[in-house]
A and B are shown apart, each in its own frame.
Chain A
Amino acid sequence: MSESAEPLVLPVVDSATKTTHESSWLVVCWDDPVNLMDYVTHVFQAVFGWDRQRAEQHMMQVHKQGKSVLAREGFEKAEHYVHQLHRYALSATMERDE
């Protein structure tokens, strides 16, 4: 699914990824329809250390909704994750959690 023009909805963030109350950046993965579903699942497991089930849930969210919020972190950790996702050639950004 390509990037959606639909209204922005509030992100669903796994509670386990919400580490501190200082966290203020969302790590968002956007859908590039060319990516293999198994590949995206694999990358989420590799970068975040998630089990397959959790990685697949986020992969499906990217696939169906055009994006998934993968983590809520402080600036540097969020930046690190975005760098890692870019190394795997996934489309990812960090967005202020407002």
Chain B
Amino acid sequence: MKLVKHGGARLVFQLTPREQQLFVEVLGLYPLIPADARKLTRHVGSLQLDESQQLLDDALAEGREATRKQLAKFLTDPERVHTTKSYTRLILGTAEVEFLLQVLNDVRVGSWMKLGSPDYDAEKALQVTEGNAVHFWAREMAGAFQSVLLAAMNVNQG
């Protein structure tokens, strides 16, 4: 996946057929972060915060559903995705790049959580097994696509 054209708020990426397949597979894993993983505060014992936590949970649930629908629409939008035999072109505005970065980070962080949220030391001891290989794969693939999008945003911002 590489940036082939940019200007203003428009970025064009080109993907090989294999990259396009991987991109769709990684995005298809969304959402991976458990619904109750995000806490508004570590402060305990406030009714105001309990109510706000409920609002946050509701907002995140609604957001996940909206994102899932938006993602499905995006991946089949002929204005955004042009596929030929030899490549796929993604035509993105900066808002769509932000959207994809959010989705990819959900997959990256969610995969890491499924691996047990290892810190730097625990990571060294982690073994790839048949059961967790998909989480390693998803974490690294999501990070690779994020890096391309972030680099493109930096280039575009000059």
Contact of A83 with B150 in the complex, beta carbons under 8 Å: no
Question: A1 with B119: in contact, given A83-B59, A95-B42 (CB under 8 Å)?
Answer: yes
Binding stretch for chain A, among B11-19, B77-85, B102-110: B102-110
Contact of B48 with A32 in the complex, beta carbons under 8 Å: no
Range class of the B interface residue count: 20 to 34
Query: How many angstroms between the C-alpha atoms of A88 and B108 in the bound complex?
Result: 11
Contact of B56 with A82 in the complex, beta carbons under 8 Å: yes
A31 to chain B, nearest CB (A): 9
Is A86's beta carbon under 8 Å from chain B?
yes
When the two chains form the complex, which single residue of A34, A36, A90, A94 contacts B40, counting CB atoms closer than 8 Å? A94
A84 to chain B, nearest CB (A): 10
Question: A93 with B101: in contact, given A1-B120, A36-B147 (CB under 8 Å)?
Answer: no
From DSSP, what is the main secondary structure of chain A's interface residues? mixed
Interface residues of B in 7-64 (CB under 8 A from A): 33, 38-43, 48, 52, 56, 59-60, 63
Which residue numbers of A lie inside 8 Å of B, CB to CB? 1-2, 32-36, 38-39, 42, 46, 75, 79, 82-83, 86-91, 93-96
Question: Can you spell out 20 A-B residue pairs with CB atoms less than 8 angstroms apart?
Answer: A1-B120, A33-B123, A36-B146, A38-B147, A39-B101, A39-B105, A42-B153, A75-B48, A79-B40, A79-B56, A83-B56, A86-B60, A88-B101, A89-B102, A89-B106, A90-B105, A93-B40, A94-B40, A94-B41, A95-B42
